[in-house]
A and B are shown apart, each in its own frame.
Chain A
Amino acid sequence: MSMLESIRSVMRRDEVFEFLVPDTPPDLDLTHGIILYLEGINVSFDGFKAINDLNLYIDDGELRCIIGPNGAGKTTMMDIITGKTRADSGSAWFGQHINLLKMDEPEIAAAGIGRKFQKPTVFEHHPVIENLELAMGGDKGVWTTLTARLNGEQRDRIDEILTIIGLQEQHNKQAGSLSHGQKQWLEIGMLLIQNPKLLLVDEPAAGMTHQEMERTAELLTSLAGNHTVIVVEHDMDFVRSIAKKVSVLHQGSVLAEGTMDDIQNDQRVIEVYLGS
C-alpha cells in the first residue's frame, strides 16, 4: 500500500523533485538597484577577527573605492565575495536572489563576479589571445573544452577586448613577456571578456608607472556604468582620480563612507589612516 503510494508519488509528472532541479543560480535580480549586499559578516582566523560585523552595500553600476590600512580586512572581504574564504556568520547576496555564501569560486565566477588579484596573475605560458580565449564566458565543462573551437563572433569579441585594453599588437606574445602594467591590463581584459556584472579589482595601480596609472584610471572609469566596479587601492592620488564614493575599512568593519572630500575631512579616518 505505502509502497504503491510512494511509487505513485515518484511517478507524478506535475511535480519536479528538488534533487532533479538543475543547480543553476537564478538570474541576477537588480530590482532595488543594489548589486551587492554584505550584512553582519564575521570572519576570524584563530581568534584574530579579520572581519568584524561588516556591512556594505554596492549600487548597480557604481565605481566604489575601498581604502584602509594594512590588516583592515580588504583582501579578506574580497575572498568572501568570491568564495575563497568562508564567513563565520552573516549574509552576502548578489542582487536579490543569489546567496554568495552557498557557492564556490567557479559558481560565483559563472554568476557574474570577476576578480583581479593583487599580483597580476595571467597564464604566463600562453599567448595573450589564448589568455582571453580561456577567460571567455560560456560552458566551461571538461567535455566542451575538449572540442571547443573559436567561432567568428568570439574572435570579434576578443578583438574588441584587445582594443579596450590596448594590447592588439601584443596579441600573439607570451603573457609572461608582457610588462607589469600590460599584465594588469590583460588581467582586467580577462575579467571583461567574461562579461561580469561586478568587478573586484585589488590594487590595480601597484607598481605602475605614472602613465600606466593614468591609463588604468581611464579604463576603470570607462567600465563603470555597464559594470559595477569595486577597487581596493592604497594610492590616494589614484583613488582621488577615479572615485565618486569611497568606503574606509578599519579593523574589519566600515569606518566611514562618502566622497573623497568627506572622507578626508572625517576626524576618525584621519586618526586611523590618513593622519598617520
Chain B
Amino acid sequence: MYSIQKSPCSTGPLFITLLGILFFFLAGFCHAEERSEQFKEGISLLFQKDFKEKEKGIKNIAVSGDKRAKSILQALLAGKLYRVKKNNTLVYAKIKNSEADIIAVLSGETLGSVKKRKLKKISINNTLRNTIKDALAIINLTNPDPKLRKEAVNKLTVNLTPESSILLAELLLTEQDRDVREALTTAMGIADLRSPDSEVRLLAVNGFEGNLQPAVRNELSRLSAEEENTAVRNKVESVLSSIEMKTSFYRFVETLFFGLSLGSVLVLAAIGLSITFGVIGVINMAHGELIMLGAYTTYVIQQLLPDSIGTALFLSIPAAFVVSGLTGIVIERSVIRFLYGRPLETLLATFGISLVLQQAVRSIFSPLNRSVASPAWMSGSIQINPILSLTTNRIVILIFSLLVFAGLYLILKKSSIGLQVRAVSQNRKMARVMGIRAARVDALTFGLGSGIAGIAGVALSQLTNVGPNLGQAYIIDSFMVIVFGGVGNLWGTLISGLSLGVANKFLEPWVGAVLAKILILVFIILFIQRRPQGLFPQKGRAAG
C-alpha cells in the first residue's frame, strides 16, 4: 500500500523519482535509455521470490512509461503472467487443462502451446495487489479516455500521499475534462486538509460541504478526531454531519429503489395469478411454472437470434404471452374446468401440473440453469452520485411492470371482454343468465392471466438465471401479495406487491435476507387475523 504511515522509507524516495520521470514524460522529454533500463530491471525483479523485491519491480515497470507496462501489470493482477522455467522468459499464458498457450511479454510473439508444468506463475499477495492497482492508476492518469482518468484520480485520492497530490496538482493545470477536473479538485481539497495552515484547512473543509466522495468522508472523520484548532474542528463536524445526513438519505433512496424493484417483480408475478384466482377461486399452483415457461421462451428466441439480442427480447414478450397463455388455456380446458367448485382438489391438480411442467423442461433443456443475455442498453447503471447508482435493468423492469399493469387495467376496465371477465369472477351464475358464455370467458381469462405470467418470465430472465425451479419460488410470494392486497383487486395487488418488496428490502440489512422473508410471512399471517379480506376488500355483502 502506498501509505506513508506503513512504509515511509520504501515508498517516499521512490515516488520522488517517479514524479521526476513523469514530469519528463508529460512534458515530452523522454530519456529513452534510462526508461528502458528501468523497465528491464523491473522485469527481472519480478522473478525474485521476495515480495519486497517484486514490489520494487512493479514500481519500476509503472514509472518506466513503457507501452507494455499496463498490460503486464494487468496480467499480473489477473494471475495470467508466467515464467518459462527453462529460459526465464516472461509470458502471458492462457491455461487449457494441462496445456497453455503462451505469448512472450517482451517481444509479443506467439510461442505456441506448452505443457502447463513447464511454466511457473508469478505469484502476488494482497499488498502487491494494492501496489499494482495504484501503479495502474498512475499509468491511467495520462489515458486519453476521461472516464479512465477520472477513475485513476479517484483511486489515487483514496490513499493520497504528498507526492501523488503534487502530481495531481500538476495535472489540474492541463486537464480539460470537467468531471476529471472535479475529481482533481476534490483530491486537492483533501491535500489541503492536511496542510499545516489552519486557514487553508478551514477553506478546504468549507469546500467539502455536501461532498459525497467516500475518501472525503474518511478524511474528514480522521480530521475531526485529530484537529486541534477549534474553529476548524467545529466546521469539520458540521460539514461531516451534513454529509452523513445526505449519505443516509441516498442510502434510503437506494434501499427504496431496490425495494420497488423487487416489488415490481412481485407485482408482475402476482398480477396474472390474481386474475386466474378471480376465475377459478383458487390459487393456480402451476402459475410459477407458467412464469418459467415465459423465461424459457425468451431463452429459446435468443438462441434463434444470437446476433440481435435486443430484437429477440422484444419478440419474446408477445411470444412468451402466447406460449404461457396457450398452456394456461389447455390446463383450464383439460383439467380445471372439471373441478369448479372443488377448490382443494383444484389446488392439488394444478400442483400436479406444475410438477409435470417442471420435469418436462428439465427433460428438454437439462436441469442446469441457463443464462439469458441482456441487451447493451439494459446493462450498466446510472451513477447519480458516488453513493447512489441505479442499475438500468431494474429501472427498465420497474417501468415495464407498470406498463403491463396499466395495459391490463385498461383491458379489464374498458374492453367488453374485460367487462365479461369481471362479471364472471363476481357472480358466475348471474353472468351466465345474462348471456355471457362463462366457459369461453373462463378459458380466455385464464389464458390472459397465464399470458401475463409468461411476460413476467421475460422480465425475470433479465434479472436471474433461467432454470426449471425458477417459478417455484414465486408462488408463495405471489400468494402473499394477493392476500395482502385483497383478492380480485388490481390496485390492491400493485400496492401490496410494491410495499411488500420495499418492506423486504428495508428489513434485510437489519436481520438478513432469510429472516426478512420469514418476518414478512409471519406479518401476513398476523395481518389476515385483522383483515381477512386484505387491504382492499371487494365491495358488497357477497364478499362478507
Direct contact of A and B (CB under 8 A): yes
A-side residues, CB < 8 A to B, are 45-46, 48, 50, 76, 85
Is B6 located at the chain interface by the 8 A CB criterion? Answer: no
Distance, CA A270 to CA B544, complexed state (A): 32
The CB with the most chain A CB atoms within 10 A, among B537, B539, B544, is that of B544
Residues of B within 8 A of A48 (CB): 540-541
The CB with the most chain A CB atoms within 10 A, among B537, B539, B540, B541, is that of B541
9 further A-B contacts with Cβ under 8 Å, apart from A45-B544, A46-B539, A46-B540, are A45-B539, A45-B540, A45-B541, A46-B537, A48-B540, A48-B541, A50-B541, A76-B541, A85-B544
A75 and chain B: residue at smallest CB distance: B541
Distance, CA A269 to CA B384, complexed state (A): 72
**Minimal beta-carbon separation of A124 from chain B (angstroms):** 16
Residues of B within 8 A of A50 (CB): 541
**Minimal beta-carbon separation of A78 from chain B (angstroms):** 14
Distance, CA A177 to CA B463, complexed state (A): 58
Residues of A within 8 A of B544 (CB): 45, 85
Distance, CA A76 to CA B544, complexed state (A): 11
Residues of A within 8 A of B539 (CB): 45-46
B-side residues, CB < 8 A to A, are 537, 539-541, 544
Sampled A-B contacts (6; CB under 8 Å): A45-B539, A45-B544, A46-B539, A46-B540, A50-B541, A85-B544
Residues of B within 8 A of A85 (CB): 544
Residues of A within 8 A of B537 (CB): 46
Residues of A within 8 A of B540 (CB): 45-46, 48
The CB with the most chain B CB atoms within 10 A, among A46, A48, A50, is that of A46
B539 and chain A: residue at smallest CB distance: A46
Residues of B within 8 A of A45 (CB): 539-541, 544
Residues of B within 8 A of A46 (CB): 537, 539-540
**Minimal beta-carbon separation of A172 from chain B (angstroms):** 29
A79 and chain B: residue at smallest CB distance: B544
A45 and chain B: residue at smallest CB distance: B541
**Minimal beta-carbon separation of A223 from chain B (angstroms):** 30
Distance, CA A18 to CA B540, complexed state (A): 40
**Minimal beta-carbon separation of B56 from chain A (angstroms):** 77
**Minimal beta-carbon separation of A276 from chain B (angstroms):** 22
Distance, CA A85 to CA B544, complexed state (A): 9
Distance, CA A160 to CA B541, complexed state (A): 40
Distance, CA A163 to CA B540, complexed state (A): 43
B537 and chain A: residue at smallest CB distance: A46
The CB with the most chain B CB atoms within 10 A, among A45, A50, A85, is that of A45
Distance, CA A170 to CA B252, complexed state (A): 72
A43 and chain B: residue at smallest CB distance: B541
**Minimal beta-carbon separation of A225 from chain B (angstroms):** 35
**Minimal beta-carbon separation of B418 from chain A (angstroms):** 22
Distance, CA A276 to CA B3, complexed state (A): 97
Distance, CA A57 to CA B298, complexed state (A): 69
Residues of B within 8 A of A76 (CB): 541
Residues of A within 8 A of B541 (CB): 45, 48, 50, 76
Distance, CA A50 to CA B539, complexed state (A): 14
Distance, CA A46 to CA B537, complexed state (A): 10
Distance, CA A50 to CA B540, complexed state (A): 11
Distance, CA A85 to CA B541, complexed state (A): 11
**Minimal beta-carbon separation of B142 from chain A (angstroms):** 72
**Minimal beta-carbon separation of B492 from chain A (angstroms):** 14
Distance, CA A76 to CA B541, complexed state (A): 10
**Minimal beta-carbon separation of B64 from chain A (angstroms):** 80
Distance, CA A6 to CA B491, complexed state (A): 55
Distance, CA A48 to CA B542, complexed state (A): 12
Distance, CA A230 to CA B539, complexed state (A): 30
B541 and chain A: residue at smallest CB distance: A45
**Minimal beta-carbon separation of B403 from chain A (angstroms):** 31
**Minimal beta-carbon separation of A111 from chain B (angstroms):** 24
Distance, CA A18 to CA B541, complexed state (A): 38
Distance, CA A147 to CA B240, complexed state (A): 74
Distance, CA A50 to CA B541, complexed state (A): 9
A44 and chain B: residue at smallest CB distance: B541
A76 and chain B: residue at smallest CB distance: B541
B544 and chain A: residue at smallest CB distance: A45
**Minimal beta-carbon separation of B400 from chain A (angstroms):** 34
Distance, CA A48 to CA B544, complexed state (A): 13
**Minimal beta-carbon separation of A45 from chain B (angstroms):** 5
Distance, CA A50 to CA B537, complexed state (A): 18
Distance, CA A275 to CA B352, complexed state (A): 57
**Minimal beta-carbon separation of A22 from chain B (angstroms):** 26
Distance, CA A46 to CA B544, complexed state (A): 10
**Minimal beta-carbon separation of B146 from chain A (angstroms):** 61
Please name the 4 residue pairs, one residue from A and one from B, whose CB atoms are nearest each other, closest first: A46-B539, A45-B541, A45-B544, A46-B540
Distance, CA A216 to CA B537, complexed state (A): 40
Distance, CA A48 to CA B541, complexed state (A): 9
**Minimal beta-carbon separation of A87 from chain B (angstroms):** 14
**Minimal beta-carbon separation of B262 from chain A (angstroms):** 32
**Minimal beta-carbon separation of A95 from chain B (angstroms):** 29
Distance, CA A238 to CA B369, complexed state (A): 71
Distance, CA A45 to CA B533, complexed state (A): 13
B542 and chain A: residue at smallest CB distance: A45
**Minimal beta-carbon separation of B38 from chain A (angstroms):** 84
**Minimal beta-carbon separation of A230 from chain B (angstroms):** 21
A47 and chain B: residue at smallest CB distance: B539
**Minimal beta-carbon separation of A46 from chain B (angstroms):** 5
**Minimal beta-carbon separation of B432 from chain A (angstroms):** 20
Distance, CA A275 to CA B62, complexed state (A): 104
Distance, CA A22 to CA B541, complexed state (A): 36
**Minimal beta-carbon separation of B530 from chain A (angstroms):** 14
Distance, CA A45 to CA B537, complexed state (A): 11
**Minimal beta-carbon separation of B532 from chain A (angstroms):** 13
Distance, CA A46 to CA B540, complexed state (A): 7
**Minimal beta-carbon separation of A18 from chain B (angstroms):** 26
**Minimal beta-carbon separation of B488 from chain A (angstroms):** 14
Distance, CA A85 to CA B537, complexed state (A): 17
Distance, CA A170 to CA B285, complexed state (A): 44
**Minimal beta-carbon separation of A248 from chain B (angstroms):** 21
A84 and chain B: residue at smallest CB distance: B544
**Minimal beta-carbon separation of B46 from chain A (angstroms):** 79
